[in-house]
Structure 1
Amino acid sequence: MISHELFHTLHQLSRLLTNKLNEALKPLGLYSAQWAVIFTLKKRGSLTQTELCDYLFVEAPPMTRTIQRLVKQGYVKQVPGKDKREKHVQLTDEAINEYPRWVRVVNEVNQGLLNNFPEASQEELLKLQNSWLQQIL
């Protein structure tokens, strides 16, 4: 059945991409899960933990651990919201200063992975992924 092979291959590809990114970010003291949070906060601004979980499709316990690590590293801070239970997660000045270095490493990994993948195919894959996500969500 093609659906099983499709999803198996997507899962394997996702794991491979995560591993490659982790290898590249490790010398900088980050992992892909932390990068995902940093990138999202840079792109979308201050978010609650729930909003981060929803956007990144991550359960609350691993998100809590990731945020706690980033707080200890000095890359994010939690700011109280309107409600005492609600905390907004924001990038610190240190993270904003380090961001260009991190994004440079991530872009190098991405470019390396795409070296032999034609640009037209990249664009088509992006369109397919976006279309599929919109249908699922």
Structure 2
Amino acid sequence: MYSHDLFHTLHQLSRHLTNKLNEVLKSFGLYGAQWSVIFVLKSKGSLTQKELCEYLFVEAPPMTRTIQRLVKQGYVKQVPGKDKREKHIQLTEAALKEYPKWENAVSEHNQSLLKNFPEASQEQLLTLQSSWLKKLL
């Protein structure tokens, strides 16, 4: 059975991609975890911390730290919801202004990683990953 090899390889690849992404984002003062939050907020709009945690599969304590760092950097703000305990996380104008630079750097990085990976294989991998993720949810 290949399950150990499969998962070991997935973990190695994930760590490698995370480290490389962190290198790309370092010049902007960001880390991959912060980029994930920024990207989701840009894509989906305002979300609660709980919604961010659920979508990104991150537990509350590390998400709280990530959000606090982004607030301190001026890239997100917390807006009170209907319930006093609930806060919606939103991108600030500063983040929206910087977003194109971040997105461009990440996009160039992603393209460099995929340059020797045939497009048909990329599509197949995306299909497999999406299907697997849907079955896990």
The verdict on a shared fold, with TM-score over 0.5 as the criterion, is: yes
What is the aligned partner in structure 2 of residue 68 from structure 1?
68
**CA distance in 2 between partners of 1:131 and 1:37 (Å):** 23
CA drift at 1:79: 0.2
Secondary structure of the 1:64 match is helix
Q: Which runs of 5+ in 1 are unaligned?
A: none
Matching residue of 1:114: 114
**1:15 matched to which residue of 2?**
15
Task: Output one character per residue of 1:56-88: Cα deviation in whole Å (capped at 9) or x when no partner.
Answer: 000000000000000000000000000000000
Could you tell me which residue of structure 2 aligns to residue 134 of structure 1? 134
Identity of aligned residues (%): 77
Unpaired runs of 5+ in structure 2?
Answer: none
- Give the Cα separation in 1 of the matches to 2:12 and 2:108: 21
User: How far, CA to CA, are the matches of 1:35 and 1:102 in structure 2?
Assistant: 8
Deviation at 1:6, TM superposition (A): 0.3
The CA distance in 2 between the partners of 1:135 and 1:27, in whole Å, is 37
Partner of 1:43: 43
Question: Given the two structures, how large is their TM-score scaled by the length of structure 1?
Answer: 0.99
C-alpha distance after superposition, 1:81-131 (max 9, x if no partner): 000000000000000010000000000110111010000000000000000
Which letter maps to 1:91? L
The separation in 1 between residues aligned to 2:134 and 2:57, in whole angstroms, is 14
Q: Give the secondary structure class of the aligned counterpart of 2:27.
A: helix
- What is the alpha-carbon distance in structure 2 between the residues aligned to residue 81 and residue 45 of structure 1? 14
Question: Offset of 1:35 from its aligned partner?
Answer: 0.1
Structure 1 segments, 4+ long, off by >4 Å, are: none
SS of 1:85's equivalent in the other structure is: coil
AA aligned to 1:5 is: D
Aligned residues: 137
- Cα separation, 1, equivalents of 2:98 and 2:82: 30
CA distance in 1, matches of 2:61, 2:109: 28
Residue in structure 1 matched with residue 27 of structure 2 by the alignment: 27
Root mean square deviation, CA, Å? 0.4
